[in-house]
Amino acid sequence: MMKHLVIGGAGYIGGVCVEKLIERGDAVVVLDHLGTGHRENVHPNAIFIQGEKGDSKLLDKIFSEHKIDTVLDFAGLIQVGESVKKPSKYFQNNFCQGVSLLDSMRRNGVDKIIFSSTAAVFGNPKTVPITEEADKSPINPYGESKYFFELAIKRYAEAYDLKYTIFRYFNACGATIMSKEQHINESHLIPLIFQAVKGERANIAVFGTDYETTDGTCIRDYVHIEDLISAHLAAIKYMEKSFRNEFNLGNGSGYSVKEVINAVEKITGKKVPVVFADRREGDPARLIASSEKAKKELGWSPKYPKIEQIIESAWSAELR
C-alpha cells in the first residue's frame, strides 16, 4: 500500500484528491492549517495533522513517523487581488514555505512531489490554446509566487534528484459526493452565480461585453474536479518512469461568461440576476489550455468536458 502526504487536503481540490486516493486503496496523511480549508472536508479514513507546510520540525516528525511515497502540495493562497495588496503574505506562503517543505523532504529522503500550480504563471498569453512551452510572464504576485516555486522545484531536481510533476490548472470546478467549492471570500464564477441564484448576493457582475469573442464576454477553460484529480493519480504512476514533468490541465474547449450563466439557468431553472460592467484591467479575452501533452503522456482525458455536466454536479452538491 502506498502512503502519500497531501498538503492542503482539507481544501476543495486537495480534499477530492484525498477522497480518490483512499477510494483506490492508498493511505493518506493530510497536513492543513485550516486557514481556508475545512476540517469536515477531510476524509474520515485519512490521518489528519493541523499545521503549516513551512514548519520544519512538524514535517520532520511526519516524515519520520510515516513512510511517504509522494507529497502532493495543494496548499497555497489564491486571491489575485489580495496578492497585489499583500505580496509579502503570498511570497511567504506560496514560495518560502514551499522551499522549507522541499528541504524537509530532502532531509528525510522523500524524493517525489506533485505541485498544484496555476495558469496565472502565463500572465497574458501570446497564443491560445496555451501549451506548457508558452512564455511564463505572471502579472501579479500570486502568479509570481507560484512560478518562483516551480523554478525552485526544478533547481532541486537538478541538484538533489528531486522527482516532480507540476500541474497548471485552468478553472477547477464541479463537485463530488463528498466535496464542493467553498472558499472564504469567494471569487470563482460558478459559486458566485449560485450565490446570486439563491439570493445570497444581489447579482453577478459580468466585466466586459466587447471582447473579440462570439458573445463579447471572456472565454475561460473549465475542468471538472474529478478530471483534474484523475491526472494526479495518473502522475503518481507515471513518475516511476518519468521524473521531471509539467502539464497544463483543462478541457480544451472554453466557455464564455454568458454561456456559463445560461448553463446555470438551464440546470437550476432559475433566472440569474446579471449586471454588466466595464472590463477589468488585465483580463485576457480567451484563456484556454492545451492538454495534448497530458493526454499523450498520462493517457488523460476529461470525462466531464461539457459545462452543463460540471454545473449539474456542482448544483447537486449545493442542494444536498
CATH number at residue 47: 3.40.50.720
Answer yes or no: do 97 and 157 share one domain: yes
Amino acid at 11: G
Structural domains of the chain, count: 2
The verdict on residue 311 lying in a domain is: yes
Q: What does the alpha-carbon distance between residue 289 and residue 279 come to, in Å, rounded to a whole number?
A: 22
pLDDT at 296 over 70: yes
Q: Which domain holds residue 304?
A: 189-221+252-319
Answer yes or no: do 210 and 101 share one domain: no
- How high is the pLDDT of residue 34? 92
Q: What does the alpha-carbon distance between residue 214 and residue 230 come to, in Å, rounded to a whole number?
A: 31
Answer yes or no: do 226 and 215 share one domain: no
Report the share of the chain in percent with pLDDT over 90. Answer: 82
Answer yes or no: do 35 and 132 share one domain: yes
* Residue 7 parent element (H or E): strand 3-7
- How high is the pLDDT of residue 253? 80
Q: For residues 103-132, give the mean pLDDT.
A: 95
Spatial contact of 128 and 290, defined as CB atoms under 8 Å apart: no
164 is catalytic: no
Q: pLDDT tens, 194-219? A: 999 999 999 999 999 999 999 999 99
Q: pLDDT tens, 35-64? A: 888 898 899 999 999 999 999 999 999 999
Grid cell for residue 245: 514533468
Q: What does the alpha-carbon distance between residue 295 and residue 293 come to, in Å, rounded to a whole number?
A: 5
The verdict on residue 178 lying in a domain is: no
Spatial contact of 290 and 131, defined as CB atoms under 8 Å apart: yes
The verdict on residue 258 lying in a domain is: yes
Residue labelled with grid coordinates 517543505: 101
Residues comprising the chain, all counted: 320
Q: pLDDT tens, 226-284? A: 999 999 999 999 999 999 999 999 887 899 999 999 999 999 999 999 999 998 776 78
Answer yes or no: do 87 and 162 share one domain: yes
**Bridge pairing between strands 255-256 and 219-220:** antiparallel
Answer yes or no: do 157 and 39 share one domain: yes
Nearest to 110 by CA among 146, 152, 62, 158: 62
Q: In whole numbers, what is the pLDDT of the chain averaged over residues?
A: 93
The verdict on residue 184 lying in a domain is: no
* pTM of the complete model beyond 0.85: yes
The verdict on residue 92 lying in a domain is: yes
Annotated active-site residue in 12, 142, 147, 169? 142
Q: For residues 63-91, give the mean pLDDT.
A: 94
Answer yes or no: do 13 and 162 share one domain: yes
Q: For residues 186-199, give the mean pLDDT.
A: 89
Grid cell for residue 266: 438551464
Answer yes or no: do 33 and 165 share one domain: yes
